[in-house]
Amino acid sequence: MLSSRSARCVQAWLLTLLLLAGGAGGPRAAAQEPAAQPEARPNIVILFADDLGWGDLSSYGHPAIETPNLDRLAAQGARFTSFYTAPVCVPSRTQLLTGRYMSRMDFQGGTGADGEGRLPPSERTLAEVLEGAGYSTHMLGKWHLGYQKEAYLPTNHGFDTWYGMPYSNDYKKPWVQTEEPLAMYQGTADGETEIIDRDIDQSRLTTGYTRRAVERIQQESGKAGEPFFLYLAYNMPHLPIHTAERFRGRSGAGRYADVVETIDWSVGQVMQALEKQGVAGRTIVVFASDNGPWLDLPDRMLQGGNKPWHQGTTGPLRGSKQSTYEGGTRVPAILRWPGRVEAGRRADGLAALQDVFVSLVEAAGAGRPEREMDGKNLLPWLTGEEAQSPREQYAYVYDGELQAMRVGPWKLRLAGEEPQLFHLETDPAARWNRAGAHPERVERMRRRMQRYAERIGASVPEAPRGEGR
């Protein structure tokens, strides 16, 4: 007889096939609490994982990892099947917090350990826009948009408070040769941000952030007429992976599964706190990852206890983090807004991190920044007012290059030795290059890419014009 987890493995693989084929999508919602009144400005919570793969949640078909809290969140809101990010961390966080491609900006350097770069002060972040609309704004976790000066930190980009790390959790020896401490920072907008811990115990990161998130929700929920924005950016499951002792071995499916199930526990704690404070019905909750899992590990990462199997899965998708194939840029994403977004909705249309910015600004009744935005307002689609996603295309930009573009079901990728054209509705794994059979489509999409690259300050690879296979 199959164990309950083994039985779930069989069911999960069938679910994955259904997800990509357009079948039924995920668990349905349990009873929800009453929705907020339409005139009430919603609280906003963003839960942002690091390097989580498209196939890492049970609602996305993972055969062994159990994520009941995220599954419940999906059953109570919209679960996206074609949600896009950048292939790596910094541009993804830029897209989320500004609604714009990083190629439009001059960061003046990198933002990791020893990096002198920063998010330009001229950019208006989601926190700044919401703050201007009367929200209190709070951040926990990974920033990665500049740290060398006080002016580069979250508390100078619209957040009232911040507790977290300025960059990735591998920015220390032996993985990165730096003398900078992998430190924990804490600060407020009306005071200085300071280092409060220079010797971080990474096993306590997720549980520590979660405890502070619950406390923040308790503090902010009682403020009449002042909605709050909470941005919780987990460091996990980015390598090196860590979790608290009480979660080790709990999954029965390895350390990576333990780490993902810890994040799921954290989501459950956040939702429970919202419910206990009576504000879950008037809070928008967004969950997503910054990019796909890191499958093609450099040698520097295969030391210090890291193992090749300490990584996630893209499900059937090709590629991984640091690539513009689907596995690097297509991630699990969920949006819950009771009374506005239909419970259990399967959102198959295109969506992206930039759209989260624009959609949340619209939901809050705040004014958009006066500059060209790269995001779309998804709310009319998600609430059923419109039948289709407003996003018709997505540009895959990596290191300043617009390497690929998806238009409807078609995707053209120019980063390889030859043009690659995929029809993602019939070939979601991107295994069959149709460029040779559709040369006119390749040229039309190439010209479209060139025009869009000029618009966002990116370049286009000069790929050979050979026939596809």
pLDDT, tens digit (0-9, with 9 covering 90-100), for 263-283: 999 999 999 999 999 999 999
Distance CA 413, CA 241 (A): 32
Mean pLDDT of the chain: 91
What residue numbers bound the domain in which 79 lies?
43-391
User: Band of the pLDDT at 19, cuts 50, 70, 90?
Assistant: low
Catalytic residue from among 62, 89, 157, 242: 89
Only one residue has tokens 């999508």, namely 25
In a domain, 399, yes or no: yes
Tell me what percent of the residues of the chain surpass a pLDDT of 90: 80
Residue 138 annotated as catalytic: no
Q: What is the pLDDT of residue 38?
A: 45
What pLDDT is recorded for position 422?
99
Q: Give a yes or no: residue 31 inside a domain.
A: no
Cα–Cα dist 246/408, whole Å: 45
pTM over cut 0.75: yes
Predicted pLDDT at 172? 86
Q: Which pLDDT value is given to residue 381? A: 98
Residues 375, 401 within the same domain:
no
208 and 283: one domain?
A: yes
Q: DSSP of 414-428, one letter per residue?
A: -SSSS-EEEETTT-T
- Domain CATH for 409: 3.30.1120.10
| Residue 392: count of CB within 10 angstroms of its CB | 12
The CATH number of whichever domain residue 104 belongs to comes to 3.40.720.10
Do the beta carbons of residue 216 and residue 186 sit within 8 Å? no
pLDDT number for residue 302: 82
**Is residue 462 very low, low, confident or very high in pLDDT (cuts 50, 70, 90)?**
confident
Mean pLDDT on 17-28: 46
Write out pLDDT tens, residues 290-324. 999 999 888 888 888 888 888 899 999 999 999 99
Q: Which of 62, 138, 144, 157 is catalytic?
A: 144
129 within 8 A of 369, measured Cβ to Cβ: yes
pLDDT at 222 over 90: no
Burial of 459 (0-12, 13-18, 19+ CB in 10 A): middle
Measure the N-to-C terminal CA separation of the chain; round to a whole number of Å: 45
- Is residue 320 domain-shared with residue 401, that is, in the same domain? no
Mean pLDDT of 6-20: 49
In this model, does residue 34 exceed pLDDT 70?
Answer: no
Per-residue model confidence as pLDDT tens digits over 163-207 = 999 999 888 889 999 988 899 999 999 988 999 999 899 999 999
Mean pLDDT across 107-135: 95
Q: Which of 361, 391, 421 is the last residue of a domain?
A: 391
Quick one: 377 and 402 in the same domain? no
- What is the average per-residue pLDDT within 91-102? 98
Number of domains in the chain: 2
> Is the domain of 387 the same as that of 436?
no
Contacts of 329 (CB under 8 A, 6+ apart): 84, 85, 86, 87, 291, 292, 396
Nearest in space to 78 (alpha carbons), one of 289, 286, 350: 286
Residues 55 and 142 in one domain: yes
DSSP for 333-359, please give it. Answer: EEEE-TTTSPTTEEEEEEEEHHHHHHH
293 and 149 in a common domain:
yes
Q: Please tell me whether residues 330 and 424 are part of one structural domain.
A: no
Same domain, 281 and 151: yes
What is the C-alpha to C-alpha distance for residues 116 and 44, in angstroms, rounded to an integer? 31
Residue ending a domain, among 391, 408, 434, is 391
Are residues 344 and 407 located together in one domain of the fold? no
pLDDT on residue 308:
81
Q: Which of 391, 417, 445 corresponds to the end of one domain?
A: 391
**Inside any domain, residue 257:** yes
Q: What own/partner pairs with CB < 8 Å and gap ≥ 24 does 190-197 have?
A: 192/150, 193/150, 193/153, 193/155, 193/162
Instruction: Give the pLDDT confidence score for residue 309 in this predicted structure.
Output: 81
Could you tell me if 399 and 437 lie in one domain? yes
Structure tokens at 66: 């159990």
Q: Supply the angle between the helices 255-276 and 68-75 in degrees, to the nearest 10.
A: 50
**Cα dihedral angle (263, 265, 268, 272), rounded to 10 degrees?**
-130
Let me know how long the chain is: 469
Q: For 393-417, what is each residue's pLDDT tens digit?
A: 999 999 999 999 999 999 999 998 8
Residue 144: active-site member: yes
In this structure, the number of other CB atoms found within 10 A of the CB of residue 356 comes to 26
Q: Three-class SS of residue 373?
A: coil
Over 80: is that where the pLDDT of 152 sits? yes
Q: Is residue 136 part of a domain?
A: yes
d(CA 209, CA 165) in angstroms, rounded, equals: 11
Taken in order 93, 270, 158, 77, the sign of the CA dihedral is positive
Q: What is the DSSP letter of 42?
A: P
- What's the Cα-to-Cα distance from 344 to each of 26, 59, 80, rounded to whole Å? 7, 11, 11
| Lowest model confidence (mean pLDDT) among 36-40, 235-239, 255-259, 460-464 | 36-40
**What's the pLDDT score for residue 16?**
54
Percentage helix, strand, coil for the chain under 3-state DSSP, each rounded to 5: 30, 20, 50
